[in-house]
Amino acid sequence: MYSVRINWIVDKVLERSQEIANFEVDKVNPSFDAKYIDQPVMIVHGLKDERISHRYGKEIFNNLKSLNKKWYPIKNGNHNNLSQVGGSKLDSSIIQFFTEFLKN
């Protein structure tokens, strides 16, 4: 809103997260680590994401150990507008995914 950079907030959050969870941010590799996740996972990714390529999101999805997973691409979604672009269809898909998960 005022063009004030807030990177310091992100840095502090990551620093504190490392302390709480006892890990190093720079050593996290989501694509590799996905191989250890066997819980249900739904990945929602904008196909026009300018920060993280949807190809990387799909790679993470493909590497998930979980058999209960869903890939949900949003055609005109970018990094910050998935809820707005996905709208009620996205909402319904998320509810359906978790409803199925809770049945099991």
35-70: buried (b, 16+ CB within 10 Å) or exposed (e) per residue?
Answer: eeeeebbbbbbbeebeeeebeebeebbeebeeeebb
pLDDT bin (cut points 50, 70, 90) of residue 3 is low
pLDDT tens for 31-73 read 999 999 999 999 999 999 999 999 999 999 999 999 999 999 9
* Average pLDDT, rounded, for the chain: 92
Q: For tokens 């949003």, name the residue.
A: 74
Q: What is the dihedral of CA 38, 68, 102, 77, to 10 degrees?
A: 110
Residue 82 pLDDT > 90: yes
Asked whether residue 1 is assigned to any structural domain, the reply reads: no
Number of structural domains the chain divides into: 1
**Residue-number span of the structural domain to which 43 is assigned:** 29-103
Residue 5 pLDDT > 80: no
Question: Within 13 Å, how many C-alpha atoms sit on residue 22's CB side?
Answer: 0
Asked whether residue 86 is assigned to any structural domain, the reply reads: yes
